Every structure is written in C-alpha cells, then in structure tokens.
Amino acid sequence: MGASPGEFEIIRDFFASAPQGEGVVLGIGDDCALLQAPSQGQLATSMDTLVAGRHFPADADPAAIAARALRVNLSDLAAMNARPLWFTLALTLPESDANWLRKFSSGLLQTAAQFGVSLVGGDTTAGPLSITIQVIGQTARPLRRDGAGCGDSIYASGPLGAAAAALPVILGDQRVPAEVQHQAERAFYFPEPQFATAAAISDFASSALDISDGLIADLAHICESSHVSADIYLERLPVSSLAQSLAGANALSLSAGGGDDYQLCFTVPPDKVESVEKLGLGVTAIGTLSAGDAKVRCWHNGEPWQAPTAGYQHF
Ligand code: ADP
Ligand code: MG
C-alpha cells in the first residue's frame, strides 16, 4: 500500500473489508449493495454531511472525525427510535494520504462495530475534505416530531451545553488542562446517540428529536410540526458540568441555544408523565406545551428570557 493510494486502492484497503452484518446480501464492490429489508416495521434513513473548517478543524484527528460523522448520523436514527442496520460513506479528500485514511477507517469501523451497523457502500472523490454518511435503520415504533399536544411535558434526555462550550477548546481558542481538553474532545467528537432512552420512552412519548442545532431551535421544530407552543424554564435545564467549568456564566445560554449535544428533546402527555418518571432514565422535565403559534418562550426564575444565541443555521 503506497503513501498515496489511488481511488480503487483506497476503497479496497480501507473500506471494502468492513464486516457485513445483518441483512447484507451483497456489500461493497458491486454497483449497488443488496440489502434484505427487515420483515417488521419501517426503514428509517437519514444523511448528514460534515465539512472541514465548518463542522470540524481540517487538522483534527481522523479517527475522531470519523467517529463524529457516524455518531451524528446514528443520533438521527436514535431520535426516531430506529435500530441501526447499514450506512454508506461519501468521502471527499483533498489528497490521498494513507496515514490519514488508516486512522479514519479504523475510527469509522470501530464506531460501526460498537453500534452494530455495517458499511455497505459509498463514493470516493477528490475535493475539499468532507464526509457524508447515510444511515439506514429499522423501526417498529417511530418517534416523530408531529405528535405532541397541548399540556404535554417537555423533557431533555441529558446534560446540555457541553459540545458548545467545548468548541473554543476544539478550535484552539481556549487553552485548558489536558484532562479538560480530553473531556472537551469527548463531548465534541463522541456524542452519544440516545438509543436506550428512545427505546424506553417510545411507549409514552408523543414526539422526539435529537438536539443538533440547540434546544430552542430544535424544540421549535416540534412546535411547528405539532402546531403547539412551548414554555421552557431555564432554571430547570440540566446544564452540563463541563459547560459550567468551561463557560461559567455563559453555560446556561449555551445549554439553551448551543448545538451538537445530540441529547433528545421529547414530549410526554400528562397521563404518561408518571410512567416516564418511573423509568429512572435521568431525564429532566424542562417545560410544557400549550396551544398556539409554534413559539418557544423561555423563562428564567419567572422572568422572560431572551436567547443571546440562536440555533445554528447554514444560510
Ligand atoms: P461505481 O463506479 O459503480 O459508482 P465505485 O467505483 O464508485 O462504483 O465504487 C466501487 C464500490 O466501492 C461500490 O460498491 C461502492 O459502493 C464502494 N465504495 C466506493 N467508495 C467507498 C467508500 N468511501 N466507502 C465505502 N464503500 C465505497
Ligand atoms: Mg457502477
């Protein structure tokens, strides 16, 4: 294997040996993969692109980039209560660098093995570094955005603000001790898709999504799809301890407005709240839905609170 493998060597040496799991009739190497659809439920599919310089620094650890690329895609499956099955990878590389590719593919395939998902195809091209992954999963009880109703409680599945607070560390703008640097890298590159929580709440929740663009912005999507409004009480937010130590007084607004945590935001009808609380999932009730015009209103200790940071928008 040379230091600058060609397109076909890249596929053969770094990706074609990916283990082929459940439902893979024919994997990498032909014009298409052949996949056996599960007999139960529906297929769920989603795609996310990570662009160097926008979603991660171009010189970041390739294994970490790979982990993040797959994990953020898996998070969409988790948010839908879908079990991961397969994924494809469109890789655009500025140069062919065997060292980089070795680290990238080992990070990718290790993450794939951890979550039981098989790489079944892709595309390899030259250009500015970007990684597009499409995931496919199966769900029998999907958690959609459009099922929420007035009076439902709003929940966050876990700590918020860590990834947003980690960003200046990741970008090299904030110097911190090695241990904190490590925590920041974990928060940013290794978000945890919330499969277990999604499965546990799927009998009770009326809607759910994963928080990629920030709690306020993403909750607004539930409100729009479900034709309701939300009141959230910021003193209840589960602000991550990493966000607190990195961002201090700004941690609360990062928890409300910052993205990239990939926790779930979900809603539960009043008669199901007790069942959800009994599950002991470590989830936090942060507000309530009411009738209205798809607005998210934020309160802090009884006072209206204005978000200083809007959710991330590309255009
Ligand atoms: P075609 O020319 O028929 O589109 P390619 O030469 O692009 O096929 O790819 C050959 C095989 O390798 C296909 O099965 C394709 O899905 C797979 N492949 C290409 N690039 C990747 C990649 N980055 N990761 C995984 N599989 C890949
Ligand atoms: Mg072809």
- 3 DSSP 8-state letter: S
Question: Which DSSP string corresponds to 7-71?
Answer: HHHHIIIIITT----TTEEE-BTBSS-EE---SSSEEEEEEEEEEBTTTB-TTS-HHHHHHHHHH
How far, in Å, from the CA of 142 to the mean position of ligand 1?
31
Give strand pairing partners of 289.
230
Query: Tens of pLDDT along 180-231?
Result: 999 999 999 999 999 999 999 999 999 999 999 999 999 999 999 999 999 9
Residue with CA closest to ligand 1 atom 7: 123
- Tell whether the model's pLDDT for residue 168 goes beyond 80: yes
Same domain, 130 and 174: no
**Other CB atoms within 10 Å distance of the CB of residue 58:** 12
| 50 and 98 within one domain | yes
**One domain for residues 171 and 268:** yes
46 carries a ligand binding annotation: yes
Ligand 1 within 6 A of 122 CB?
A: yes
pLDDT of residue 1 exceeding 80, the answer is no
Mutate to test the pocket of ligand 1, among 26, 28, 50 (most ligand atoms within 8 A of CB): 28
Is the per-residue pLDDT at 314 higher than 70? no
| CATH code for the domain in which residue 43 is found | 3.30.1330.10
Segments forming the whole domain that contains residue 212:
153-304
Give the model's pLDDT for residue 307: 73
Of the listed ligands, the closest to the CA of 123 is: 1
198 and 297 assigned to the same domain:
yes
Q: Is the CB of 124 under 6 A from ligand 1?
A: yes
pLDDT at 306: 86
Q: Provide the number of structural domains found in the chain.
A: 2
In this prediction, residue 296 carries a pLDDT of 96
Residue 315: inside a domain = no
In a domain, 22, yes or no: yes
User: Do 125 and 168 share a domain, yes or no?
Assistant: no
Q: Provide the CATH number for the domain around residue 188.
A: 3.90.650.10
The verdict on 181 and 263 lying in the same domain is yes
The pLDDT of residue 293 is 83
169 and 288 in a single domain? The answer is: yes
Residue type present at position 27: G
**How far is the C-alpha of 62 from the C-alpha of 97, rounded, in Å?**
11
Proximal ligand: closest to the CA of 96: 1
271 in a known ligand binding site = no
CA of 29 to the centre of ligand 2 (A): 9
Q: Are residues 31 and 74 in the same domain?
A: yes
> Which tens digit of pLDDT belongs to each residue from 236-295?
999 999 999 999 999 999 999 999 999 999 999 999 999 999 999 999 999 999 998 889
Residue 314 located in a structural domain: no
Nearest CA to ligand 1 atom 3: 31
pLDDT higher than threshold 60 for residue 309: no
Say if ligand 1 is within 6 A of residue 17 CB: no
126 and 165 fall within a common domain:
no
Confidence of residue 234 (pLDDT cuts 50, 70, 90): very high
pLDDT at 56 > cutoff 70: yes
In a domain, 244, yes or no: yes
